[in-house]
C-alpha cells in the first residue's frame, strides 16, 4: 500500500526537507504540502488523507490543533524543535513524534510505523 502524505510546516526550509526525505521512502505515493496551516486544514477536511506530518509550532492553527481535530480519523506524525512537546502530542493522539532536526531514517521509521498501523500490523493507540 502506498501512502499519500500531507506535510504541514510554516518553514519553507523544513517543508522542503520533509518533502525530499519522504519522497525517498518506497511506500510514499503522492505528497501534498502546505506552508499555511489554514489551507492545510481545508484540504484535510475535503481530501481526508490517511497520514499527515505536521509541525507543532506554527502561527494560527498549530500542530496540537490538528491533533485535537483529526487524530481520531487519520494518523499523524508530529514534529518540533522542542522535545517537551512530545508528551502532549502523544496524549492528543499522534502516531509518532520526531524531534527536529530529524534524519531520513527517523522520518522513514515514522512513516513505517504509520503504514503498519494503517495495515493493522500494529494497533493504533487511540
What ranges do the domains of the chain cover?
Answer: 3-118
Mean pLDDT, residues 7-19: 98
Q: Is the pLDDT of residue 79 over 80?
A: yes
Beta bridge partners of 51: 5, 75
Specify the DSSP element, H or E, that contains 47.
helix 37-47
How do 75-80 and 28-34 pair as beta strands? unpaired
CA dihedral 113, 37, 100, 11 (to 10 degrees): 140
Q: Is the pLDDT of residue 123 over 90?
A: no
| Domain 3-118 listed as CATH 1.10.3720.10 | no
Q: How many CB atoms lie within 10 A of CB 16?
A: 13
Tell me the three state secondary structure of residue 99: strand
Specify the DSSP element, H or E, that contains 96.
strand 96-99
**What are the pLDDT digits (tens) for 33-71?**
999 999 999 999 999 999 999 999 999 899 999 999 999
pLDDT score recorded for residue 70: 96
| Count of helices and strands (H, E) across the chain | 5, 5
Q: Is the pLDDT of residue 126 over 80?
A: no
pLDDT score recorded for residue 121: 86
pTM of the complete model: 0.94
pLDDT score recorded for residue 125: 60
Q: Is the peptide bond before 101 cis (omega within 30 degrees of 0)?
A: yes
Mean pLDDT, residues 93-100: 97
pLDDT score recorded for residue 107: 98
Amino acid at each position: 500500500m502506498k501512502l499519500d502524505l500531507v506535510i504541514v510546516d510554516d518553514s519553507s526550509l523544513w517543508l522542503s526537507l520533509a518533502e525530499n526525505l519522504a519522497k525517498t521512502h518506497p511506500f510514499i505515493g503522492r505528497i501534498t504540502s502546505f506552508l499555511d496551516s489554514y489551507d492545510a486544514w481545508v484540504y484535510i477536511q475535503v481530501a481526508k488523507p490517511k497520514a499527515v506530518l505536521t509541525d507543532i509550532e506554527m502561527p494560527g492553527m498549530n500542530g496540537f490543533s490538528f491533533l485535537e481535530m483529526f487524530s481520531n480519523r487519520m494518523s499523524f506524525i508530529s514534529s518540533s524543535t522542542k522535545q517537551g512537546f512530545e508528551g502532549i502530542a502523544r496524549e492528543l493522539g499522534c502516531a509518532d513524534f520526531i524531534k527536529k532536526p530529524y534524519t531520513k531514517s527517523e522520518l522513514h521509521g515514522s512513516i513505517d510505523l504509520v503504514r503498519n498501523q494503517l495495515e493493522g500490523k500494529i494497533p493504533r493507540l487511540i
